[in-house]
Amino acid sequence: MASKKTIIKKIQIILTKHFESPQVAFNFFDKNGDGKLSKKEVVKLLKEAEINGFIRGLVGSKLIEGYDKDGDGKIDWKEFKVALKEMATDVL
């Protein structure tokens, strides 16, 4: 199974190399345009980041669990920015 560091690096690569900005990436993965990423949308992001299908669902759940501060089961833009900031420090 991929390490946390490897998963974070893959997420950072997809967000920085394939999109102009984190906001553009967030909007791309927010397929229904509700301003929040559902688990399904987070899993889609993980798929694009080439996270193994076996662990995608688990990682998606853990990301939402860890960063969903308002408890709605989704990650909004504010929570997404916090996640990116924390992921950047976790990789160092």
Sign of torsion, CA 73 77 81 87?
positive
What is this structure's pTM?
Answer: 0.89
Look over the chain and give the mean of its residue pLDDT values, rounded to a whole number: 92
- Give per-residue pLDDT as tens, 41-60: 999 999 999 998 889 999 99
What gap in Å lies between CA 57 and CA 46, rounded to an integer?
9
